[in-house]
Structure 1
């Protein structure tokens, strides 16, 4: 069992980050007799997975969803880790496709000089964001009719 300070030191994250992860349901602690948080050893692996996911660009919500299938109180089984790895692979392929799209269209955008976000082929292809998606515009390929 580790104190919050020990987990922070061993994992390389701030204590406030551990509290945040716990608030979001990503990790779990128990309380000792002095009402201090204590963590099982397996929390270090879970934090490592969270940090790895963040480093490759997964959002906090994506991480929460991906880790929701893993147990909080025990270390995951090999099968559970394998299932998570397959899910990550699918999501990484999606991100790679988005980045490749951005890479191939970015040159056109830089050379365009249109200065029009309404008609920008990268930011709002075919001026279709209002038709296909509500809200803020994103640098991702939109569905084509």
Structure 2
């Protein structure tokens, strides 16, 4: 448990802003979203634990990778509130996110490799659609870009 002296002093929002590069308004937004939990000093000023620098850095990286605030909040809620997270705590979160990142990498690779061909969207506006998706056969598999979503186009007939 943190001693009262370290909690009493903490870091100001300006300190956190300088260390993370986030604007104070962004830090307050993340506070409202439950991603950081500052405390009030005796003077009433909002103060942050040093561990909040890492939490906010994690938030920034996660958002850049496409994770939603809700997904980030769920991950951060698994961290202990009564102590600074350890390396093992962060490894646990990383393992959880790794699965999602691997799936996104596979999806982005498929998009990169197939974007210039038929994506099975049913548009029938390209010359290739007559070859890859005759009579909009992809629509029988559901809505959206079926082939980019993992469906395989039927073999082409000469």
Do these two structures clear the TM 0.5 threshold for a shared fold by scoring above it? yes
Give the alignment of 1:112-127 within 5 angstroms.
114-115=124-125, 126-127=138-139
In structure 2, the residue matched to 1:52 is 61
The aligned length equals 132
Q: In 2 relative to 1, CA 101–14 (structure 1 residues): closer, same or farther, beyond 3 Å?
A: same
- Mapped partners of 1:28, 1:74: distance in 2: 12
Aligned match of 2:44 = 35
RMSD: 3.1
1:28, CA displacement in angstroms?
A: 0.7
Given candidates 63, 66, 69, the residue that maps to 2:72 is: 63
Structure 1 residue aligned with 2:149: 141
**Structure 2, gaps ≥5 residues long:** 1-9, 153-158
SS at match of 1:51: helix
Length-normalised TM-score, structure 2:
0.69
**Number of the residue aligned with 1:134:** none
Q: Quote the offset at 1:35 in angstroms.
A: 2.2
- Structure 1 gap segments, 5+ residues each: 131-136
* Residue of structure 1 aligned with 2:98, choices 67, 80, 89: 89
Sort the Cα spacing of 1:32 and 1:129 in 2 relative to 1 into closer, same or farther, 3 A. Answer: farther
Closer/same/farther in 2, CA of residues 73 and 3 from structure 1, 3 Å limit? farther
